Amino acid sequence: MFGITFLCFLQGVEEPFLVAVDETDMINHLKEGILSRRRGIIRENAETFKIWKVFIPVNEYNKLRNPPVEIESGEELEGSQRITSIGEVRNEYIQVFMENPDSVIIPPTLTKQVKETDNKIKGLENKIQGLENKIQGLANIIQSVASIDGAGVEMDCYLEEICKLGVIKVSDELHIKKGYSEDPKPVKIGCRVIGIDNGIFTVTLIGYDEERKIITSLVLLEIWLLNKFNLDKQYRPKYYSRPDENIDIIRNGEDMGNVKKRYKELKK
């Protein structure tokens, strides 16, 4: 039989110490050997202790002293295993750690799961932050569009009332056919309303393509139509004030007048 000496650490003592065993011994023999060195301090049955194969530099033993102990790399050993399962002796490393029965050990598998979960949580937090940034960006865009020429805020506030009064209905055509400035450039573009829900329109272009667009304000409707026909707000009338003066309603082939005019008629 050959003697083997391992540098061990028992939780609850101050420093690591050497324990000699035979290579034919079992892990239970090592546990008894560790406790026999410290019987004056700890008087427990060896069966109540768990033992770990670790690989920790001797100058880092402080991480093993107090609970909870986080075993970053290691393997729990069973009492019936052979001593040789610990591996080759490395004098400059603590190779055996035995916990106290009342202490808390965080095994490497749980440590890995905790770190992976933490990374997932951080990833989700980053995604949520990204979504919040996008939402804020969209809110800023809507706010900037809604405030064009000072008309948007008022328009957004009364769209629902326009729908309730029947100023604009499903199947109506909404046309811009004013003499926009800069040449002046004549503009004749339009769309058809195919859905209305709480003041929000769904429209499709007339005689261009079948793209559908959800509209939440007349400002957005006008800008969308201008953009679809490669126009810009510079083509608005010189004394432009509000989009409902420039959007005409065509219902069953009859010109109902512009949105502002029709609204005033039904509001009486």
Residue 107 has a pLDDT of: 53
Residue 146 has a pLDDT of: 45
Residue 57 has a pLDDT of: 87
Residue 252 has a pLDDT of: 92
- % of the chain residues with pLDDT over 90: 3
Residue 40 has a pLDDT of: 54
Residue 104 has a pLDDT of: 47
Residue 145 has a pLDDT of: 45
Q: Which domains does the chain have, with CATH numbers?
A: 3-109 (3.10.20.90), 146-267 (no CATH)
The amino acid occupying position 246 is N
Measured between alpha carbons, how far is 22 from 30 in angstroms, rounded to an integer? 9
What does the pLDDT look like over 221-256, one tens digit per residue? 887 887 777 776 566 555 556 778 878 899 998 989
The tokens for 72 are 């970053």
Q: Rounded to an integer, what is the distance from CA 123 to the centroid of its chain?
A: 6
Residue matched to tokens 């005033």: 264
| Neighbour order of strands in the sheet with 212-215 | 212-215, 200-205, 189-197, 173-176, 248-251, 254-258
Q: Determine contact, residues 118/126, Cβ cutoff 8 Å.
A: no
The tokens for 80 are 């019936």
Residue 148 has a pLDDT of: 41
Residue 128 has a pLDDT of: 83
Residue 240 has a pLDDT of: 55
The amino acid occupying position 105 is I
Measured between alpha carbons, how far is 251 from 172 in angstroms, rounded to an integer? 5
Q: Which residue ranges of the chain lie beneath pLDDT 50? A: 104, 110, 141, 144-155
